[in-house]
Amino acid sequence: MPELLLGIDIGTYSAKGVLVTPQGEVLKQHVVEHELLVPRPGWAEHDPELVWWQGLTAICSELLSGKWTGADIAGVAVSAIGPCLLPLDSRARPLRNGILYGVDTRASEQIAELESEIGTDRLLEHSGMALTSQAIGPKIRWLRQNEPDVWRQTAHLTTASGFLVHRLTGEHVMDRHTASHYMPLIDISTLEWSEQFEHLVAPLQLLPRLGWSDEIAGTVTREAAALTGLRAGTPVAVGAVDALSEALSVGVRKPGELMIMYGSTTFFILVLDGPVRDERVWLTAGAFPGQYALAAGMATTGSLTRWFRDQLASDLPATEAYSRLFAGAAAVPAGSDGLLTLPYFSGERTPINDPDARGVIAGLNLTHTRDHLFRSVLEGVGFGIRHNLDTFRSLGARIDSITAVGGGTRGGTWPQIVSDISGVSQRLPRQTIGASYGDAMLAGLACGLLDHSAIDDWVGTPTLVEPDPDNQATFDAIYPDFLKLYQSTAPTVHRLAKRSASRKGGDRTEAG
């Protein structure tokens, strides 16, 4: 009988798959790197065929070869970056590249239009959050206004995970967490599509049906089986956004539990038992029926350390660059000897929601070294994390525990800085395989091999990072300056951002 679980996650720069037993043992993993396309400043795209679908088939080909085959798989779940926007024609073929989540800021004008036509208070009540670059409704409107030929051919609108689930099953479905960002087309109170504002954005008939992450979306078709090596008829879960799957992978599933994901961007998910509305953060559905989640996200965190490595540490051997940079930063005192960095190198999402924000490094003098600069970058992200946590608390949202995951947690330097700045303890799981591991859990829940109590057995006992009181006192004195630095420099950097955006042409960022 098939009893293995397959989880696949499509990220910003790579796709990852895992093959897992019902007891949580990882039998095999595979990673496929891919490109992030930046056709113009403020835009971020993926080729859905080359990145999303070929990434999935490549992972399946590798994992389902040799000892294990598609006949061993009891269930499949897929997560992906999200929310994204992909228009499909009547045969479900992509009509353009996928438009990515909040790092793509092209729809600023459409956000302003919808705010004017609907009203910000009405939007907050209907959608549970303000329109930001994370919202898909304005990007749909941008598509209608700027690519009319594509819009005329559009028969379906979907996201990255929805596209892959359709390729596997033939079913058009979207998880409710992702759909929460398709505002203002969804009513956050009912978690169903709403006709109220479709005349301003798109007909609801273009949207997929909604499901919960652990429900079965459909089964693998014969055509998909031939292309992936999966067995036709294998159950496929509705799936999730990568951050939601990552939270599940480390046991964050109950109200009051918060995950901080240290990835290319930093993402926060706090599980709630009821809605909490605020324009600074994102209110979404949770993974399971009856749950909500308060979500937030910073735009450039891990991608900022990558930029630093590539541009300011290219002399270091590639295999040692990060370890040497983090070791150097750990040797610099808290506060970086007077340096203070705003980490808004691609604008910022929550809580300031400012696509025209930009990076600032203040306090430079001739004694500062590369280690000081890198430490200041890490601290700048730490202050941004504190800003988000303070925002959650100001809303009365309960935070009982914090679990830190992602590549930025390796070695412990960055989580320690964040704990010192924020004054919070963080749990580091014994293994942080990532969203694909959470997808395997969703696959097991969907096909009936797992129940929710089994998740704790998969996760195990974490280690704890506690704040250093001395460093905490230092950072408490600096934090108000971090907030004031943004406020005082915003007019200048906004003008600089507009000058940068006016240049023609584009850039392409390779996966690393």
Same domain, 216 and 331: no
**Assigned domain for 144 exists:** yes
Q: State which of 198, 215, 244 marks the end of a domain.
A: 244
**pLDDT tens digits along 389-400:** 999 999 999 999
Q: Which two tokens stand for residue 395?
A: 């809303």
Question: Residues of the chain with pLDDT > 90: what percent?
Answer: 85
Residue 420 resides in a domain: no
Whether residue 236 sits in one domain with residue 365: no
pLDDT above 50: residue 504: no
pLDDT in tens, 195-249: 999 999 999 999 999 999 999 999 999 999 999 999 999 999 999 999 899 899 9
Q: Would you say 237 and 443 are in contact if contact means Cβ atoms under 8 Å apart?
A: yes
**Alpha-carbon dihedral sign for residues 150, 156, 159, 160:** negative
67 and 214 share a domain?
yes
Alpha carbon distance 458, 444 (integer Å): 12
Distance CA 308, CA 321 (A): 10
Pairing of strands 240-241, 73-80: parallel
State whether 205 and 334 are in the same domain: no
Strand ranges inside 299-415, DSSP E: 340-342, 360-362, 401-405
Contacts with 177 (C-beta within 8 Å, 6 or more apart), sequence order:
213, 240, 241, 244, 284, 285, 286, 287, 293
Domain that holds residue 495: 303-347+354-383+469-501
Please check whether residue 53 lies inside any domain of the structure: yes
Q: What is the pLDDT of residues 309-342, one digit of tens each?
A: 999 999 999 999 999 999 999 999 999 999 999 9
Q: Are residues 221 and 322 in the same domain?
A: no
Residue 438 lies in a domain: no
Same domain, 239 and 372: no
Pairing of strands 507-509, 36-38: antiparallel
- Which residues have CB under 8 Å from 58's CB, separation 6+? 15, 30, 32
Report yes or no on 496 lying in a domain.
yes
Give the contacts of 304 (CB within 8 A, at least 6 positions apart).
343, 345, 359, 377, 381
Cα Rg for the chain, rounded, in angstroms? 22
Q: What residues contact 21, with CB distance under 8 A and at least 6 apart? A: 3, 4, 5, 27
* Model confidence, pTM: 0.83
Confidence at residue 240, expressed as pLDDT on a 0 to 100 scale: 96
Domain count across the chain: 2
Burial (CB count within 10 angstroms: exposed 0-12, middle 13-18, buried 19+), residue 139: buried
Last residue of a domain, one of 213, 229, 244: 244
Specify if 395 maps to a domain: no
Instruction: Tell me, yes or no, whether 8 and 91 share the same domain.
Output: yes
Residue type, 339: L
74 within some domain: yes
Q: Is residue 172 part of a domain?
A: yes
The answer to whether the beta carbons of residues 490 and 357 sit under 8 Å apart is: yes
Distance separating alpha carbons of residues 309 and 316, to the nearest angstrom: 8
Q: What mean pLDDT do residues 422-435 have?
A: 90
Same domain, 239 and 307: no
Using CA atoms, how far apart are residues 485 and 349, in angstroms rounded to an integer? 17
CA distance 158 to 174: 8
The pLDDT tens digits of the residues spanning 352-394 come to: 989 899 999 999 999 999 999 999 999 999 999 999 999 999 9
CB atoms within 10 A of CB 157: 26
Same domain, 231 and 322: no
One DSSP character per residue, 445-492 reads HHHTS--TTHHHHHH-PPEEE---HHHHHHHHHHHHHHHHHHHHHHHH
3-state secondary structure of 108: helix
Do residue 61 and residue 141 come from a single domain?
yes
> Within this chain, do residues 329 and 186 fall inside the same structural domain, yes or no?
no
Two tokens, residue 510: 């390779």
User: Are 200 and 325 found together in one domain?
Assistant: no
User: Residue 211: which CATH number?
Assistant: 3.30.420.40
Distances (CA, A) of 97 to 46, 484, 493: 6, 39, 30
- What pLDDT shows up at residue 265? 86
Domain boundary among 244, 264, 287: 244
Mean pLDDT, the chain, as a whole number? 94
Name the nearest CA neighbour of 102 among 308, 436, 354, 359: 354
pLDDT tier, 510 (very low <50, low <70, confident <90, very high otherwise) = very low
The answer on pLDDT for 86 being more than 50 is yes
